[in-house]
Structure 1
Amino acid sequence: MRTDTAGLSRGLRSRHIRFIALGSAIGTGLFYGSSESIKAAGPGVLLAYLIGGAAVFLVLRSLGEMAVASPSAGSFGEYATRHLGPLAGFTTAWTYAFEMVIVCVADVTAVGVYMGFWFPDVPRWIWVLAAVLLVGALNLVSVKVFGELEFWLSLVKIVAIVAMILVGIAVIAFGLGSGDGHAGLSNLWSNGGFFAGGADGFVLSFAVVMFAFGGTEIIGVTAGEAQSPEKTIPSAVNSIPLRIILFYVLTLAVIMSIRPWQNIDSSGSPFVEIFAGVGLKSAAAVLNLVVLTAALSAINSDIFAAGRTMFGLAQRRQGPAVMLRLTRNGVPWVTTLVMIGALLTGVLMNVLMPGRIFLVISSIATFATVWVWLMILLTHVKARRSMSAEEAASLKFPAPLWPYGQIAAIAFMAGVMVLLGFHENTRVALVVGAVWLALLAGVHALWVGPRRTGPQPVAAAEERAGETPDADLASLEGPAGSSR
């Protein structure tokens, strides 16, 4: 393994970027966490996913505008540093890394739940530990291997979701299966109404809904390792609306049509429970394999994104210099090992509190995710306002609905933050989030601010060693992302 920092490997192609984004967007939040949002809002959760998805699309278009305009600067942490100041960039990048750790803990927890479908007597933590070690090892190989792995894992998810929708439509239309109860579209409005959870349930469902979209901002993170970011980033961002409609709204509509929403519980994946409940046992087993693959895919993306973010922080002397160490294949191995070590705490939590861990972890992840999105939006607003009319007109990928869409998205994200305080199980997220941000502010004031002498310490170190700085290294913000 190399001890120098000659640069990250630029090995991600267009299809890698697209499917990495899919891997972050389609994971535990949909396959497992959706049961919590359904429980809160009933069928009205479909509208919640549409509204939340629209807000996230505006976030990604804002990020995409900045990434295409300045891909060499890296991702949102560096953009926040440039436009909002060093403290904003520091807290944004480290909170993103924190988000990926927390989301990863939720994902590995889901792996334990899914394996319980086949091995109910095996302790959950054993499967959690196996998932951490397996995916962590794969991330140490090379970025190209990572991209290929994520491509195929995401492809499996896409094919399976489309197949599930088709089978679900057949169940609804022809009454397939031998389960009890009526399957039909009327289940969306005949069991307490479309807004069966009332206004309170509908509003509170956003705390879980937004968790499901966490990680989509990895699109910006991959810019530094994309071969043609000016082409791949817009393509990936613009595919978000279709994904939201197909993979969230349509899928959950099928699920709640097959089985009344109030009969869906959170003991496992609602996708698996539905087909087991209507007598299609083999379909349930196949779907359980798919949701397991989805969780591994999400973990894969999260380890990649957090590792690259911490690498970029170390590059700008906002993190320990040891995180700059790379393998011969250009993989930041220290940051990957840090992620693996952090995930081992998830193993411990699954031992100590297996019943409550997912809701607590997902709410903390929602806080971190929404904070990052808020900072992306605020950074974009500041960046756009600093442009001249000519500069704004020359943007290759301008965000739509400027400035009213961005203002509405900012207000929406702030509202989600407030919502976390209304439920006993999610209130802990505000406490943890406040402590986290205070800790970052303290570290920045006492350590990062005084010792930071410039944005390119790596170049100086390499010049002292008689090396030529690698252009690829300067192309990263926080990493080269989440899914998120």
Structure 2
Amino acid sequence: MEQQSTKLKRGLSTRHIRFIALGSAIGTGLFYGSASAIQMAGPSVLLAYLIGGVVAYIIMRALGEMSVNNPQSSSFSRYAQDYLGPLAGYITGWTYCFEMLIVAIADVTAFGIYMGVWFPAVPHWVWVLSVVLIIGAINLMNVKVFGELEFWLSFFKVATIIIMIVAGIGIIVWGIGNGGEPTGIHNLWTNGGFFSNGVMGMILSLQLVMFAYGGVEIIGITAGEAQEPKKSIPRAINSVPWRILVFYVGTLFVIMSIYPWDQVGINGSPFVLTFQHMGITTAAGILNFVVITASLSAINSDVFGVGRMLHGMAEQGHAPKMFTRISKHGIPWVTVVIMMLALLVAVYLNYIMPGKVFLVIASLATFATVWVWIMILFSQIAFRRGLKREEVDALAFPLRGGVATSVFGIIFLLFIIGLIGYFPDTRVSLYVGVIWMVLLLIGYMIKKKCQRQ
């Protein structure tokens, strides 16, 4: 199974990468989690998603600048090492892997729950085991198989959302499914105004909004296996603004125009309510199928991302050397198998751990996401400062505004960390985050000591 080569194969086309980028941030958080942000901010959550989207785009452009200049499978971990030092690369890489493992645990568990809706007699663990083995097998095949599966899963998610938006506009403008009476958009300001919970409500919702964008950074990891990274990466990243406008702002605009914002999430998923309003009585079943594909897509991306990150870290000397082993298909098979085993153990722990303990661990994913984004921006700043003026002018895909834009992004993300600490329910993630960083520092010092000996 193993080859002498430790190099990954470039098998992802522009079409694959564009849809990986398109589907990476469209998951269960949008289908079910958007209700929490709406309840917190009211209609002004639209503004929160726009603001958050601008920062997400800044992060993507900063990562894109480095990825196009130097495509690497370990992406931001490698850039952190090259431009900030070995310790930064070590902490960033392992933090991302832990973040993705936690997210994957949630996605795998969610898949079992969703399948249980249709097959209540089948034990939950059967579905969990099945999806881990199936996704693991897919990730052990040629990278084109992964790209093709991710393309179709993302395509289905995107198509469903577009259908809902178009149908929603039909309800708003022509009253389709509403007895011919258009609903209009007055619900955006008639129930307490656009800032129903004040400007502070919109600000407090930003932490939920930013977490919803988590996952967009996977586009950087695909650079190491892109057939034409200098073309495909810019095209995929430049699709981010319209993707945010359509799939986040557009979706929530339609939902809150049809329903008063204070009713969204009370009687079920906003998506289910919209489909039911269209007269589709099987809305719950349709949505369940959509969310199953969303969770499959998320698990697929999680396994891919962690596998490539661990492979790159092993090349840097930050992970066991065995992680560099490549199959005849050009796949880092050892890291994929490790991820599968970790998921099986983690899912078992999820069954036996009390809910509050698991919540503490899961909340670290929010902290880890913001940490990785901050390190991407710091890396871009260090990268730019190491270039001469003529080298900056020659960059193929530069971040507009350069260092100043990255500094703005860092300040905003530090503000998000402050918001996480503001809430008692999420404050614990900061404490856990500090503990995680201390453990990584200890691990790094032990590693360096062993290397010297």
Shared fold by TM > 0.5?
yes
- Pair 1:62 & 2:62 matched: yes
- Please give the residue correspondences for 1:232-243 in structure 2 after superposition, counting only pairs within 5 Å: 232-243=232-243
Instruction: Specify the alignment match of 2:387 in structure 1.
Output: 387
Instruction: Specify the alignment match of 2:261 in structure 1.
Output: 261
Identify unmatched segments of 5+ residues in structure 2: none
Identify unmatched segments of 5+ residues in structure 1: 454-484
- Distance change (3 Å), C-alpha of 1:367 and 1:265: same
Distance 2:273 2:71 in 1: 44
Instruction: Specify the alignment match of 1:417 in structure 2.
Output: 417
Measured after TM superposition, the shift of residue 364 of structure 1 is 2.3
- Distance change (3 Å), C-alpha of 1:409 and 1:72: closer
Distance 2:358 2:30 in 1: 13
- Distance change (3 Å), C-alpha of 1:25 and 1:262: same
- Please give the residue correspondences for 1:185-264 in structure 2 after superposition, counting only pairs within 5 Å: 185-264=185-264
Distance 2:127 2:192 in 1: 38
Distance 1:97 1:233 in 2: 22
Question: 1:105–1:361: 8 Å Cα contact kept in structure 2?
Answer: no
Measured after TM superposition, the shift of residue 390 of structure 1 is 1.1
Distance 1:10 1:277 in 2: 46
Instruction: Specify the alignment match of 1:11 in structure 2.
Output: 11
Distance 1:356 1:247 in 2: 32
- Distance change (3 Å), C-alpha of 1:262 and 1:403: same
Measured after TM superposition, the shift of residue 235 of structure 1 is 0.6
Measured after TM superposition, the shift of residue 90 of structure 1 is 0.7
- Pair 1:130 & 2:144 matched: no
Give secondary structure in 2 for the equivalent of 1:400.
Answer: coil
Distance 1:4 1:146 in 2: 23
One-letter identity of the residue aligned with 2:143 = V
- Pair 1:445 & 2:423 matched: no
- Pair 1:364 & 2:360 matched: no
- What number of residue pairs does the alignment pair up? 452
Question: 1:114–1:269: 8 Å Cα contact kept in structure 2?
Answer: no
- Distance change (3 Å), C-alpha of 1:344 and 1:39: farther
Tell me the TM-score normalised to structure 2 length.
0.91
Tell me the TM-score normalised to structure 1 length.
0.86
Cα displacement string for residues 208-255 of structure 1 (whole angstroms, at most 9, x for unaligned residues): 111111111111111110111111111111110010000100011111
- Distance change (3 Å), C-alpha of 1:370 and 1:72: closer
- Please give the residue correspondences for 1:89-238 in structure 2 after superposition, counting only pairs within 5 Å: 89-115=89-115, 117-119=117-119, 126-177=126-177, 183-238=183-238
Measured after TM superposition, the shift of residue 402 of structure 1 is 2.4
Once structures 1 and 2 are overlaid, which stretch shifts more, 93-102 or 390-399? Answer: 93-102
Instruction: Specify the alignment match of 1:456 in structure 2.
Output: none
Once structures 1 and 2 are overlaid, which stretch shifts more, 268-277 or 328-337? Answer: 268-277
Identical counterparts, % of pairs: 54
- Distance change (3 Å), C-alpha of 1:266 and 1:310: farther
Question: 1:311–1:332: 8 Å Cα contact kept in structure 2?
Answer: yes
Question: 2:72–2:78: 8 Å Cα contact kept in structure 1?
Answer: no
One-letter identity of the residue aligned with 1:14 = T
Instruction: Specify the alignment match of 2:53 in structure 1.
Output: 53
Distance 1:219 1:28 in 2: 19
One-letter identity of the residue aligned with 2:445 = A
- Distance change (3 Å), C-alpha of 1:39 and 1:120: farther
One-letter identity of the residue aligned with 2:237 = V
Q: CA RMSD in A?
A: 2.7
Measured after TM superposition, the shift of residue 283 of structure 1 is 4.2
Give secondary structure in 2 for the equivalent of 1:83.
Answer: helix
Give secondary structure in 1 for the equivalent of 2:282.
Answer: helix
Instruction: Specify the alignment match of 2:432 in structure 1.
Output: 432
Instruction: Specify the alignment match of 2:323 in structure 1.
Output: 323
Measured after TM superposition, the shift of residue 284 of structure 1 is 4.1
Distance 1:98 1:281 in 2: 40
Instruction: Specify the alignment match of 1:307 in structure 2.
Output: 307
One-letter identity of the residue aligned with 2:232 = T
Distance 1:267 1:328 in 2: 51
One-letter identity of the residue aligned with 2:413 = M
Give secondary structure in 2 for the equivalent of 1:167.
Answer: helix
Distance 1:124 1:50 in 2: 38
- Distance change (3 Å), C-alpha of 1:33 and 1:58: same
Cα displacement string for residues 28-58 of structure 1 (whole angstroms, at most 9, x for unaligned residues): 2212221221222122111111111100111
Question: 1:109–1:346: 8 Å Cα contact kept in structure 2?
Answer: no
Question: 2:350–2:358: 8 Å Cα contact kept in structure 1?
Answer: no
One-letter identity of the residue aligned with 1:194 = F
Measured after TM superposition, the shift of residue 80 of structure 1 is 0.9
Instruction: Specify the alignment match of 1:335 in structure 2.
Output: 335
Give secondary structure in 2 for the equivalent of 1:398.
Answer: coil
Instruction: Specify the alignment match of 2:294 in structure 1.
Output: 294
Instruction: Specify the alignment match of 1:347 in structure 2.
Output: 347
Once structures 1 and 2 are overlaid, which stretch shifts more, 303-312 or 274-283? Answer: 274-283
Question: 1:104–1:302: 8 Å Cα contact kept in structure 2?
Answer: yes
One-letter identity of the residue aligned with 1:408 = F
Question: 1:40–1:204: 8 Å Cα contact kept in structure 2?
Answer: yes
Distance 2:372 2:401 in 1: 21
Question: 2:168–2:274: 8 Å Cα contact kept in structure 1?
Answer: no
Measured after TM superposition, the shift of residue 105 of structure 1 is 2.3
Question: 1:23–1:301: 8 Å Cα contact kept in structure 2?
Answer: no
- Distance change (3 Å), C-alpha of 1:201 and 1:394: same
Distance 1:449 1:43 in 2: 55
Measured after TM superposition, the shift of residue 262 of structure 1 is 2.1
Cα displacement string for residues 66-99 of structure 1 (whole angstroms, at most 9, x for unaligned residues): 1111225851111111111100011111111122
Question: 1:113–1:268: 8 Å Cα contact kept in structure 2?
Answer: no
